[in-house]
Chain A
């Protein structure tokens, strides 16, 4: 695959063993790394000639949040980072890839991940003064964290 060379570079730089590499359908390889390694991993990927970041996916699992950084050059390469739900902080990669800004801002608003060094941490999708918690989180948790959920509009009444 065209991403094999980059994966070898990543293995050498970050000292990752073979077991953290997973093959997904449709020619996609996924590498699990630690959150402290994100900046050096992105630097290595850029140096290896892959400059296209397709998206950043955030998702909430049982006791953790997972960030997936999807790179692409003929084949896909995904970096997988687990974040403990008690410490949802990670370095922003916007200085290396300015195109990541919207993806990070979206993950910040929808899941509450804090990207350290994000150049413009203003709301992108949600309205000003949003009180409804983090919309994409599993429901129980969103309500527990923010009990003042936006009330539903009553029929016939304008807000």
Chain B
């Protein structure tokens, strides 16, 4: 049978962000694929060396349009560790609240993208309708729907008032009902199962070999969550479960992300019920003592990694960022091998790529 090569991307209706895939086909079967990044590479690591720590908090939020808050959280906690600053408890709780709201919003957004890619437009609309609830809360708290600029070095810039808390309580109640509904419908939907089960399979060995993180790793049975295993902010004061599945296909990743959304809603409820009193931030110096620090946090897509080296000046001497997308991207050629061309869209959507994060 003759072989043909189909380019997917850099601009393609299947992809929400630019990425290039060259898929080699034999008939309808994928035999090989090659990928290429860099179409949204903005050189943020280099830019950060030319800006002060305070300017960098806002630069770093622009790495990603979905998980912007987790990036600034990880950066701020690295700088705070170098400066030996203790952030007030209330500040940490507000940070965690935004992190969990972002996780809900990211997972629902992803579900919409997957549903659209596999032709389930109704599910896409339901998921994105419910995502609006979270975006409205975040807009009410921070003034921004995706870029919140809530973190500052030493705490957060906003405080929660009675109006926010009552909005949160009502919205989270509504969201719980909606997410339960989504979970029920995708668990029982025949078309959804047919398009996602046994598609894009990754074994636990592959996950370990490729150092994959986040929901993709947990859907293959790797029990690994930074919030539980190396708690940052005040996650050690909250109780939550880390959902785990073993099937390792797109279906398992979908169910797992919805279960994580339910846990995130529970965490938000816990945070607003146990919100400590007091200030939300402390004043931090503009200069950072010389030293180096490694900091990790659990983004919606898994472990995000920051390395900061300070030479004692106002600008970081080196900032290294490793986003979770890079770990899942590398597994894609293996997942696509021997798949049908029609399933490529489900596989690409299933790992939840954020190319802007991957490129930086």
Which residues of A come within 8 Å of B, CB atoms? 24-28, 51-55, 57, 59, 68, 70, 72, 74-76, 78, 97-103, 123-127, 135-136
Contacts and interface: CB of A to CB of B under 8 A. Distances in A.
B322 A103 contact: yes
A135 B43 contact: yes
A25 B82 contact: yes
Interface of B: 36-38, 41, 43, 45-46, 78, 81-82, 208-213, 224, 229-230, 291-296, 303, 305, 307, 309, 317-318, 320, 322, 326-327, 329-330, 359
A99 B43 contact: no
Contacts of A123: 36, 38
Contact of A52 (B45, B211, B318): B211
A125 B292 contact: no
A141 B43 CA distance: 18
Given A26-B295, A52-B224, A100-B211, 17 more contacts: A24-B293, A51-B208, A55-B322, A59-B317, A70-B305, A72-B230, A74-B230, A76-B296, A98-B209, A98-B210, A99-B210, A99-B211, A99-B327, A101-B330, A103-B326, A125-B41, A125-B359
- At the interface, is chain A mostly helix, strand, loop or mixed? mixed
A124 B38 contact: yes
6 contacts: A52-B213, A54-B305, A57-B320, A59-B309, A103-B326, A125-B37
B292 A24 contact: yes
Contacts, number: 86
Given A74-B229, A125-B37, A55 B81 contact: no
Nearest to B209: A98
Given A25-B82, A28-B294, A135-B46, A124 B37 contact: yes
Given A52-B224, A99-B209, A103-B322, A57 B293 contact: no
Contacts of B329: 102
A8 to B, nearest CB: 21
A103 B358 CA distance: 11
Contacts of B208: 51-52
A53 B211 CA distance: 6
A98 B208 CA distance: 10
A104 B6 CA distance: 28
B307 A57 contact: yes
Nearest to A101: B330
Contacts of B293: 24-26, 28
Contacts of A125: 37-38, 41, 359
A72 B296 contact: yes
